[in-house]
Amino acid sequence: MEYKIGIDLGSTAIKTVIVKDTELLWKKVVPTAPGQEALALKLIDDGLTDLAIKKKDIGGISVTGYGKNLITQAHTVIDEVSANAWGVYLLSDKKARTVINIGGQDIKIIRISEDGKLSDFKMNDKCAAGTGRFFEMAGRILDTPIYDFATLADNADASINLNSTCAVFAESEIVSLLAKGTKRKTSSGDCMNRLPDA
């Protein structure tokens, strides 16, 4: 009985799965920290223990993500853009043609051909503005889970423009707006709205 392991060593999280054929048997996510290889190997051990699988039953380990070259035991190394394209293609029953991946430190827009191959992609180049790191920071400052952002935006009575395209400057701008009286409205949604001058 052959099992396969997939590891994504991302900039903010390490994701690990164990599959048999196409069935997902086990998954776990931990925050990325120094010693990524040790963290990933610990996740593998956790999964093997939880499933009562022996190492000899593992048919292969595939890795992707920023830290993909850190796992010396990997059998296959896959670039994250190709992994995104193929994964979404299969999960969408081969219908997806575009992937928007908002990662921890970058955003990837990926085009997929009809046969699931990567046909084109674009990626932000310098700043973390608009990435997962930015949304996590905004959620922390606004005391709002990032999963609520879409609903809050749909219920907003007005919008606030952030002038900065830099995550660090945008953080300062949000803090400054809050200090100046910009409040999160709670009656029609929990969002930032500027109160009218009294």
Q: Is the dihedral of CA 45, 51, 55, 60 positive or negative?
A: negative
In this model, does residue 172 exceed pLDDT 70?
A: yes
* pLDDT tier for residue 2 given thresholds of 50, 70 and 90: confident
Q: What is the domain range of residue 119?
A: 82-123
In this model, does residue 111 exceed pLDDT 60?
A: yes
Where on the phi/psi map is residue 196: left (φ > 0), alpha (ψ -120 to 50), or beta?
A: beta
Q: Are 69 and 37 in contact (CB under 8 A)?
A: no
The overall pTM is greater than 0.85: no
Residues 88 and 147 in one domain: no
Number of domains in the chain: 3
Residue ending a domain, choose from 90, 123, 156: 123
Instruction: Give the pLDDT confidence score for residue 189 in this predicted structure.
Output: 39
Residues 180 and 142 in one domain: yes
CATH of the domain at 39: 3.30.420.40
Residues 18 and 32 in one domain: yes
- Whether residue 198 lies inside any domain: the answer is no
Higher pLDDT, 105 or 110: 110
For residue range 8-17, what is the model confidence (pLDDT) as tens digits?
Answer: 999 889 999 9
Residues 60 and 93 in one domain: no
Residues 117 and 166 in one domain: no
For residue range 56-88, what is the model confidence (pLDDT) as tens digits?
Answer: 999 999 999 989 999 999 999 999 999 999 999
Q: Which residues pair with 109 in a beta bridge?
A: 100, 122
